[in-house]
A and B are shown apart, each in its own frame.
Chain A
Amino acid sequence: MSTRSVGDRVQRKEDPRLVSGQGHYLDDLSQHALAAAFVRSPHAHARITDIDVSGALDVQGVVAVWTWEDLDQTHEAAGQPLPMLIPHPSITAPFTAYALAKETVHHVGEAVAMVVATDRYLAEDAAQRVRVEYEVLPAVVGVETARAAEHLVHEGAPGNVGAYFEQELGEPGPRIDAAPHVLELDLDIQRSASMPLEGKGVAARWDPELRMLRMHSSTQTATGLRAAVAAKLGLSLSQVEVIVPDVGGGFGVKINHPWPEEICVAAAALRMQTEIKWVEDRREHFISSAHERQMLQHVRVGFDDDGVILGMEADVWHDHGAYLPYGVIVPLNTVTHIPGPYRLKNFRVSFTSLYTTTVIVTPYRGAGRPQAAFLMERTMDAIAAELGLDRTAVRSANFIQPQEFPWDIGMLLQDGRLGIYDSGDFPASLDKLKALIGWEEFEAYREQARAEGRQVGIGLGCYVEGTGAGPYEGAHIEVETSGRINVATGLTTQGQGHQTVFAQIVADELGVPLDDVHVTTGDTRAMAYSVGTWGSRGAVMSGNAMLLTARKLKERALRIAADALEANPDDLEIVDGIISVRGAPEATIPLRTVAVLANPLRYAFDESAKAATQFGGKADETKPPIPEEDRPGLEETQFFSPVRTTFANGMHAAIVETDPQTAEITVLRYAVVHDCGPMLNPMIVEGQVYGGVAQGIGGALYEKMEYDADGQLLNASFMDFLMPFSTEVPHIETDHLETPSPLNPLGIKGAGEAGTIPVAAAIASAISDAEGFAVTRMPISPSDLWHLRASRRTDRTDRTDRTDQTDQTEES
């Protein structure tokens, strides 16, 4: 029997190449291409009055300098604003950027001109010599400024509002008013960013003889980019190929497309009939890619003496930056994920998505859900504090119970489909988490620490995550006559181990050795139908497509083999690539030979082909060489398109220490219980969790885009924008619960973003527990905490003879 690999900790097939320096990332390709560099706006908001490129053209090696007119002259569509990729009914003012600014710039870093030269150094020299004159306009920075709308980012967006969405379930207002207890909270989350180690990049080559554009891009969607570029340049889809090489991390930022640079580079390659490459530098990534997370939140909640929520209202104000190319996925995810694992039947929620003169927002790992978990979990903690109850007890009192699945949250998700939880067991997850972190033993530990002069706290955060959203992904599997099995799916890969897990699925289903299976991702030549890699969907979508395709291929292989072996297909099995009759091991035929039989040939170009020619074996003279309704070759394509999204879930707990003097915050322990259904490769799932938690810790304690009031990003470098190094990330303890999803044949739910979602909530909970007051703003630095302590001391002195009316608190 062939060894099954699904479920095993299989080492990754991609690794030997990547640890040897043999990876092929974008900048490793097209070494002889011309290099592009961009002239970017130094102002957050300004009108362009003049561009003088003459100085740039004097630089040796410069080939061209482009402004907006050059795009417009290349093709009318290239001179139009970039597409609004995901229109949503809530969007009232859809503004997107031009690939090169036309008349106005709306954030520092917006591309104004492009220089193409024989060398990147020269292109950058020349870019510095492009003179742009601006008439500076007022900047609009941050949610509060945008909301005040003293100045508008776009004239056509009154109040700076890009989108407004509201949804009401049941009758929240009256239920809150009638509740025994009512609390209101104001919460605040700052800007962060995906910040992959490899920035964006694109190389485009126009082949004048074939009239074809070949693009490589460090993108999360090959097919989306292909369609967008074809539309912008007036090419037929068949004239554009997009190939995604190894991608050095994405975390969401590389799902947006087409980026201005992708259009500019492709358009210039087309016009100049040559090959051009642009590779983003780190500063460019900070000021011209995308950020996420910034949101102000207000909650009003009514609950009973046990902490059971009777009604809740949540309003969030989201800063989406200067343009809205990716729509409102982030705030939409936030509002639809607020219910989390809890029964929330009387609920009103709204988001207001606002324009600011800062870098655009597109999804960053978690994509709006960390903000949702922060809102809901801070609310749970506030309820517990108000009632003097254990924080886990309040959560338990509100959990959806295992027998209540499927659970309809009553809202449409980001994919426009119903949000219905498919599976999970929240009480069991919480039990596991409490055991893993030692929840019950913590008070003893706290006392012990206190005796040593140390201040510690424990916290937790729960979440659910809509994963594996459609509409579809596909797989193509082809068996070569050598026995090599080529597998392709259209979604891209950026470190999730797709080449391994998809091979595991195919190898198991076909009954072939794992080493025989070779996976291609993100190449429109190999699979032209695809959506992309985002939203924890890779394994669910392409994984199930792999399974369905392998099943179909196996059925066909066994049918052909049955003819050759004069056996019944139902009696056949494939083990290690050999098809045999069960119980009659002498009657066998290798799968690779079936591939020969599946393709009757005229020409004998090698030994296996010789066997497939018309003189290669016995022929049934009564039938054509290829039976009716059949076709040559041993290959199949199938698609998986789910009726709705799956829901993974999890719970995190943290123990932190806060220094009484310096307010230094240290995460002492971190525990994760995670339920993504059956794990295809636990090693890879855990790796995703570890990485996610590290990014979550960044979001909780370090990562913050510091804009000044003029819209200048003050910390646009790795020196100044802090991300966790190894010394900032604790050892992460994990446990798993596997509740299978009924929505797909593998029963799996996505795992990519799970690690990140509740981290800020769990750490805020732990810091609040250590300090004795509620932390409501993330990230929180030692100096933030120090100031919070100081302001609370002042506050206490101030209100000794006053009634506190404003403070939302969970002091016990």
Chain B
Amino acid sequence: MATQRVRIRRSTPPFNPSEAPEEPEELLEITLRVNGTEHDLEVPGRRLLSDALRHDLGLTGTHVGCEHGVCGACTVLVDGRPSRSCLMFAATAQGHEITTVEGLARPDGTLGPVQQAFVECHGLQCGFCTPGFLTTITAYLEENPDPTQEEAREAIAGNLCRCTGYQNIVRSVCRAAELRREGEQQ
């Protein structure tokens, strides 16, 4: 067997980063306003918003399912509009109001109407795609506070769920609309 392996240098620890020959990546100083709180952070220009939220700010509720904008698990609200945080650089989110799943609770800390509806209607199983649905539906109900079942189904058609078969998510959208209206009446 003529397998040749060439490894010019091996560097299992102890490892001294100062020996590394390449220049470190340039960092940008940015401020992200997330769920009403401002965070100052230094990130490379290429850092994705999803990674900044999850790994720099520790807001791990936003999930990453595909990293190419199809599944919708990473959806957050940017100025109230659903946006794929895996398709956005953290630096470009500066100056915008970001809402993640952690920010959907009511001011008293109890579950918001969409969250509550998901619990009541069994709108989740593994829960991984759920934050993306919750943020998407929260924004949708601002636009259409009283959707039909068909409208509800259309509203969630940009998010993939592999567990629930969507039936109970459709129910959750309608139930959330009810809970919102009940909340307004109180």
Contact = CB atoms under 8 A, between A and B. Distances in A.
A727 B128 CA distance: 20
A48 B13 contact: no
Nearest to A28: B60
Interface stretch (A579-587, A651-659, A692-700): A692-700
Interface in B90-106: 100-102, 104-105
A367 B64 CA distance: 27
B36 interface: no
B153 A197 contact: no
A196 B55 contact: no
Contacts of B179: none
A415 B160 CA distance: 34
B46 to A, nearest CB: 7
A727 B6 contact: no
Contacts of B153: 726-727
Interface in B162-183: 162-170
A791 interface: no
B32 interface: no
A77 interface: no
A725 B160 contact: yes
B23 A23 contact: no
A729 interface: yes
Contacts of A11: 119-120, 122
A432 B25 CA distance: 65
Contact of B111 (A19, A25, A251, A727): A19
A58 B165 contact: no
Nearest to B117: A19
B66 A717 contact: yes
A276 to B, nearest CB: 11
Contact of A52 (B8, B65, B163, B169): B8
Contacts of B124: 15, 18-19, 495
B60 A21 contact: yes
Contacts of B184: none
A248 B5 contact: no
A61 B122 contact: no
A271 B7 CA distance: 18
A296 B4 CA distance: 41
Interface in A11-58: 11-12, 14-16, 18-25, 27-28, 31, 47-54, 57-58
B7 A54 contact: yes
Interface stretch (A63-71, A591-599, A767-775): A63-71
A427 interface: no
Contacts of B164: 687, 690-691, 694
Interface in B69-115: 70-71, 73, 100-102, 104-105, 111, 115
B49 interface: no
Given A249-B128, A723-B162, A281 B6 contact: no
A694 B10 contact: no
A322 interface: no
A197 B162 contact: yes
Nearest to A199: B65
Contact of A496 (B12, B67, B111, B125): B125
A424 interface: no
Interface of A: 11-12, 14-16, 18-25, 27-28, 31, 47-54, 57-65, 67, 69, 103, 118, 121, 195-198, 246-249, 251, 271-274, 281-282, 494-497, 683-684, 686-695, 717-719, 723, 725-727, 729, 731-732, 755
Which 4 A-B pairs have CB atoms at the shortest separation, nearest pair first?
A: A21-B61, A248-B128, A495-B126, A690-B165
